[in-house]
Amino acid sequence: MFGWDFHHKSDRIKLFLFILAMFLLIGFSASFIFRGLNPEAEEREEPSESEPHSQETAEDDSSSSLAGEEESANEYDQAEHFTDEQLSHSKEVALAFVQAFHAYDAKEPEKYLEKAKPYMANALYEKMGRNMRREPLDRSFLSVEKADVTPVVNPSSAIIRWNVMVTGKAEAIDGTVTPTEDWYLVSLKQINGEWLVEDVRVNVPN
């Protein structure tokens, strides 16, 4: 075919080398074509190495989400906006105010307001003076036995709020005595360096 004489040894060697070269060329060509037609096979092998990284990313996202929720919840914690001293002082004022404000005597219907006045902002005192409190007949006389302060959800950075629960006794005109439990939502504001009650709500959901 190429003028080779197969009776000569050198020509036979040339033929062998030629055939070997053709097989090698065909083999490399087939391998290259196979890889070119199957790029997805290589891509499927890579995720196994990056999988731990994906898990770490998911964990980081989860941690960030939890941190965000915690930060959001803390916005309603009064300790985020006020010092321990401010909270402690305002709590004492709220407690003293409610104890003075709750006690009631139908024979002296204005006495409760005068007793509570030192703990109140002037605007609230004047407002309550125009709308005097009137208790029903079965609560003509109210006394305080115990008062407890509980924290409330409050996002404000200017006003501190406390729930004050008062347990005591109510006496009717006929002398009938019944136990009582009342809840006061007290809002306090710092006025001229003092924490004073600027609003109070009785027995309403917080």
Calpha distance 87→149 (Å, rounded)? 12
The per-residue pLDDT string of the chain (206 residues; one tens digit each, 9 = 90 and over) reads 455 555 666 666 777 777 877 778 887 777 767 676 665 544 554 544 544 444 554 455 555 554 455 444 466 789 999 999 999 999 999 999 999 999 999 999 999 999 999 999 999 999 999 998 889 999 999 999 999 999 898 999 999 999 999 999 999 999 999 999 999 999 999 999 999 999 999 998 65
Residue 20: what pLDDT? 78
pLDDT, residue 5, reads: 56
Q: So what's the pLDDT on residue 66?
A: 46
Cα–Cα distances (Å) from 25 to 4, 30, 155, in that order, read 22, 9, 78
pLDDT of res. 19: 80
Q: pTM of the predicted model, to two decimals?
A: 0.64
Distances (CA, A) of 159 to 106, 136, 156: 33, 32, 6
Between the CA of residue 11 and those of 19, 20, 23, 122, what are the distances in Å? 12, 14, 19, 122
CA distance 85 to 91: 10
